[in-house]
Amino acid sequence: MKINRGYVRRLILTPGQVAALDVQGHAARALWNLLHEWWMWGGTGRRPSLKDADEAIRQARRDIPWLADLPAQAAQQVLKTYVRAWKNFFEGRARPPEFKSRVRSRMGVDVPQARDLAVTRLSRRVGQVRVAKVGVIRFRWSGPIPGIGREPGRTTGARLVKDVLGWHIVFRTEVQTATPAQHNGPAVGIDRGVNVALALSDGNDQTHGAWLRPKEAERMLRLERKAARQKRAREPFERTSNRLHRTYHQIAGLRARAKRRRHDWQHKTTTAIAQQYGIVVVERLRIKNMTRSAKGTTEQPGRNVRQKAGLNRVMRNEAHARTVELLEYKLTERGGQLLPVPAAYTSQTCSTCGHRDPASRAGIRFVCTSCGWTGHADTNAAVNILHAAGLGRVRTWSPAPEGCETSTTRRAA
């Protein structure tokens, strides 16, 4: 089995190296925009070929001197990425390519050939890598990387990316492993929620604290209020001031820190679940539909708009879709299986008698109106999710949502 993975490491740069990478990042973004404009409105009357696009890039690098600051291989990779974006669009996997904004887009520079990296480990915590037109730069050695040193596998390339916390390098790796044996662990149902991040059907709930520490949360609140005051002080259509830009940058830094802590918790939690359980059952949720605004229209305005906006913010902060993505590939690598099931009525049905009644759910408390069973609503939903996959004790009931349904109990095969 071939496993492709990316390993992110933070770069340790001098001011000159930061400036050089910023120039390459802006050149890559400008080259993408020029390529997109030429591809869409080149005036050829037909779809351009890769040969024509390659020649157009070469001519642009000759005509515009600062485009030559981007290494030739990185420029060729911009073309490959652009063509891949169109292919993903035609196959229904993504939206069509668009122009990249200088403010909102994320800067990145590709190093497609691994042999050009010359990765070396200098000490226990520091390594170095070679980047064209920048030189040798150091990075934090925060863990092993396949294909480097004695680690099995190979490094196929890298990509330099910049976020609000600085420049990072992402090593693209490939490892060949034997097909794993079937995982003999138990099956479990997982309910993803807000009160309990991951409620498991066996009671082994996974929770976390606030992503920001109390002092950081206070600072975030002060910065958001400061940004609101600075924004109100602007005249209509006035250009954003440098002070407001600096405030936005500080807010983005705190949000990026919280995002990293969430990713760290998700990785550790999903790894532990994949190691313990052989089959994991989750709801098939449409997160985008669940987090839509409740504003409505002018003719039909929504209700409880502010409350729904707060709930949407909390749900997005949990990143439930990413949790499922991590679970899927980690279970596959360990011989486990992820089973998605429909989410309808899992929170309204009693996991003991099978009676369905919306009145049974009262916040985080579930009290069955038929048999009187009482428990945590998220744990009850997790058990129903496990039942929906045909595992454990499965309840069958009539589809009518009201009244006292007669239920039967059977053992899963």
Active site residues: 191, 283, 378
- Backbone torsions φ then ψ of 190, nearest 5 degrees: -125, 130
Please give the C-alpha separations between residue 376 and each of 147, 193, 205, 207, 267, in angstroms, as whole numbers.
47, 12, 11, 14, 26
Compute CA 57 distance to the chain's CA centroid, rounded to the nearest angstrom.
32
CA neighbor of 134 nearest in space, from 81, 74, 64: 74
**pLDDT for position 396:** 41
Predicted TM-score (pTM) of this structure? 0.83
pLDDT at 175 over 80: yes
**pLDDT for position 404:** 37
Do 349 and 332 lie in one domain? The reply is no
Do 246 and 290 lie in one domain? The reply is yes
Quick one: 11 exposed, middle or buried, by C-beta within 10 A (0-12, 13-18, 19+)? Answer: buried
Q: Between 291 and 90, whose confidence is greater?
A: 90
Do 161 and 202 lie in one domain? The reply is no
The range of the structural domain enclosing residue 407 comes to 344-411
Do 335 and 348 lie in one domain? The reply is no
Contact between residue 7 and residue 173 where contact means Cβ atoms under 8 Å apart:
yes
Do 174 and 218 lie in one domain? The reply is no
pLDDT-wise least confident of 125-129, 183-187, 293-297:
293-297
Q: End of a domain among 179, 214, 232?
A: 179
Q: Between 404 and 20, whose confidence is greater?
A: 20
Q: End of a domain among 112, 144, 179?
A: 179
Contact between residue 15 and residue 137 where contact means Cβ atoms under 8 Å apart:
no
Compute CA 69 distance to the chain's CA centroid, rounded to the nearest angstrom.
31
CA distance 72 to 132: 9
Do 265 and 320 lie in one domain? The reply is yes
Query: Side chain identity at 231, as an amino acid letter?
Result: K
**pLDDT for position 234:** 86
Domain count, the chain: 3
Model confidence over 357-398: pLDDT tens digits?
888 888 888 899 888 889 888 899 999 999 988 876 544 433
Q: Do the strands 135-140 and 2-12 form a parallel or antiparallel pair, or are they unpaired?
A: antiparallel
Do 350 and 328 lie in one domain? The reply is no
Model confidence over 216-254: pLDDT tens digits?
999 999 999 999 999 998 888 888 899 999 999 999 999
